[in-house]
Homo-oligomer: A and B are copies of this chain.
Amino acid sequence: MKMPPPFRSLTRLALSVAFLSSITFVIAQIQAPGPRKLSARTIPVPNTVSPEMQKLIAAPLTPTWNVIPKTSAEWKAQVDAGAAVSMQALPALRQKLDVKVEPLMIAGVKAHMVTPRNIPPQNRNRLLVHVHGGCYVSFPGESGTTEAIFMAGFGHFKVISVDYRMPPDHPYPAALDDAMAVWKAATKMADPKNMAIFGSSAGGALTLSMVLRAKQEHLPLPAAIAPGTPMADLTNAGDSFQTNAMLDNILVAPDASCDKRAALYAKGHDLKDPLLSPVYGDMHGFPPAILTTGTRDLLLSSTVRVHRKLRQAGVEASLQVYEGQSHGHYSRDVAAPESKEAFEEIAAFFDRHLGK
């Protein structure tokens, strides 16, 4: 029904008033400013990732996520059990990616040389240093080489994986000291301009701490770094510690196993020390960095906060966030196309920034 213009305007005005009243009513119903209250809910497995990744996302929470040993012996038993599970997967992984792994000592520190069978010409004089994850306590010995094998296999680089000392026997700064000793020695094996450091989780934090230490000690810096989902803030500041709690099926929640392990490492040392929580470090002069995380990662905030800190310091820094992934999902299934994508992305970044 057509109305003459004055009536149309009046109708519209009446509607506006009705609408604004409904807003006022709705505002009154809606929560006040402040914390966000969320109801219980069920989050489906997304269909926007590969079937392999769907399987990882659908997996139950890590069984030990909140199992806290009480003694050193119990910690070691837990660590050994975890290492045994990782070790079981390694022969097939090495075969699939055509990579060999050999133990070696570098500057008195245990390590593994991880070598792909095919090394393209541009990578022959390049060398990567890997610092493994495991919340500073897990994945000793060969069990810490998984991610190094992914990188060597998908990226076709030679990798030295540092088997750094760990708590309960060896707290901070043993891991960092070992990693630095290997870094120093490795810079005699290759030109630092042809080198990068990478690692995820605790290894991501160590990657950042190594650069902070190398700056302090006026050592050569790597030409690039790849901190994956770094444990960059041991104080648990960061929104995703809350928003992704119980959604991330690897770390699962703050103040659980991973934090207890990190506390064994810190052993009373100030958690805000940039060598323990590198997000508080001065990142000016850092080499180009590529960071990797997932939308469900408990450390999504830690990763994006480091990315912003790097950018604020004028560092070339590239952020990769993968759909639906929890902490470190990108190195859990060699058959997931997202794993290949993540490591090839890092390899391409290294290729752009490393000399030959």
A interface residues (Cβ-Cβ under 8 A, vs B): 11-12, 15-16, 18-20, 22-23, 26-27, 30-48, 55, 58-61, 63-64, 67, 69, 73-74, 76-78, 80-81, 237-240, 242-247, 249, 295-296, 300-301, 304-305, 307-308, 311-312, 318-324, 341, 345
Contacts of A22 in B (CB 8 A): 67
Shortest distance between the CB of A348 and any CB in chain B (Å): 9
A23 with B67: CB separation less than 8 A: yes
A58 contacts across to B, CB distance below 8 A: 33-35
CB A346 to nearest CB in B, in angstroms, measures: 12
Query: Which single residue of chain B is at the shortest CB-CB distance from A36?
Result: B43
Supply 18 further A-B pairs (C-beta < 8 A) apart from A35-B58, A36-B249, A38-B246. Answer: A12-B77, A19-B81, A20-B81, A23-B64, A23-B81, A26-B63, A27-B63, A33-B55, A33-B59, A34-B58, A35-B42, A35-B43, A36-B246, A44-B242, A300-B321, A301-B324, A304-B321, A305-B323
Q: Establish whether residues B243 and A295, one from each chain, have CB atoms under 8 Å apart when the complex forms.
A: yes
Which 7 A-B pairs rank lowest in CB-CB distance, beginning with the nearest? A46-B239, A15-B77, A239-B324, A304-B321, A16-B77, A33-B58, A36-B43
Q: Chain B's nearest CB lies how many Å from the CB of A318?
A: 7
A311-B247 Cα distance, complex, nearest whole Å: 27
**Cβ distance A30 to chain B, nearest Cβ, rounded Å:** 5
Give A20 to B69 CA distance when docked, in angstroms: 12
Instruction: Tell me the interface secondary structure of chain A in the complex.
Output: mixed
| A78 / chain B contacts, CB cutoff of 8 Å | 19
A43 in contact with B305 given A58-B34, A60-B33, A247-B36 (CB within 8 Å):
no
Q: Is the CB of A38 within 8 A of B41?
A: yes
A244: chain B residues within 8 A (beta carbon)? 243
- Jot down 11 A-B pairs with beta carbons below 8 A, ordered by A: A15-B77, A27-B60, A30-B61, A33-B59, A36-B43, A46-B238, A48-B239, A239-B324, A243-B243, A308-B323, A319-B319
In the complex, what residues of B have CB within 8 A of residue A304's CB?
295, 321-323
Which B residues touch A238, using CB under 8 A? 46, 48, 323
Residues in B neighbouring A249, C-beta threshold 8 A: 36
Please name all residues of chain B whose beta carbon is closer than 8 Å to the beta carbon of A74 when the two chains form the complex.
15, 19
A295-B301, A301-B295, A301-B324 known; A247 vs B20 contact (CB < 8 Å): no
Contact at A46–B81, with CB atoms within 8 Å? Answer: no
In the bound complex, how far is the Cα of B20 from the Cα of A63, in angstroms? Answer: 10
Docked CA distance A295–B242 (Å)? 11
With both chains docked as a complex, state the minimum distance between the C-beta of A172 and any C-beta of chain B, in angstroms: 23
Q: How far is the CA of A300 from the CA of B118 in the complex (A)?
A: 38
Name the residue of chain B whose CB is nearest to the CB of A317. B318
A73 touches which of B11, B20, B30, B341 (Cβ 8 Å): B11
